[in-house]
Amino acid sequence: MAIYYVICITKKPSHDDPYTAIQSYGVSTKVVATSADETWSQLEMIAAIEGGRHTVKCIGKKPGTSDYEFAELEVVNRAGNKYVRSKNDGDKPDNLLAQSECPNT
């Protein structure tokens, strides 16, 4: 089982709109990556997590430090609609939304 890290997301038309779903995820097998190795659609991300083929984590910097923090991702099913979110780590619930917009999308 490979571990992938989300390093950017594509969320259009507005990255900050809470009612717009994430369309795709830029992922890398490297903890510190400057670009994504692959781009996964929402359906591909859900299949990877639910199928147990991969562990997927969101990576970010701890505020005020140069240390990295990781949040594992999970699939949630609300009224038949599946989406991906970071598992509650008691810290920040918006780990995915804190990612930058993927370039060239």
pLDDT in tens, 47-101: 999 988 788 888 776 667 777 778 888 898 989 889 888 876 655 556 788 888 8
93 cis-preceded (ω within 30 degrees of 0): no
What distance in Å separates the CA atoms of residue 65 and residue 59, rounded to the nearest whole number? 14
If you average pLDDT over residues 11-34, what whole number do you get? 86
> Does the predicted TM-score (pTM) go above 0.85?
no
Q: Please return the burial class of 80, using the count of CB atoms within 10 Å of its CB with bins 0-12, 13-18 and 19+.
A: exposed
pLDDT in tens, 89-104: 655 556 788 888 898 7
- The b/e string for 25-44 (b: 16+ C-beta within 10 A; e otherwise) is bbbbeeeeeeebeebbebee
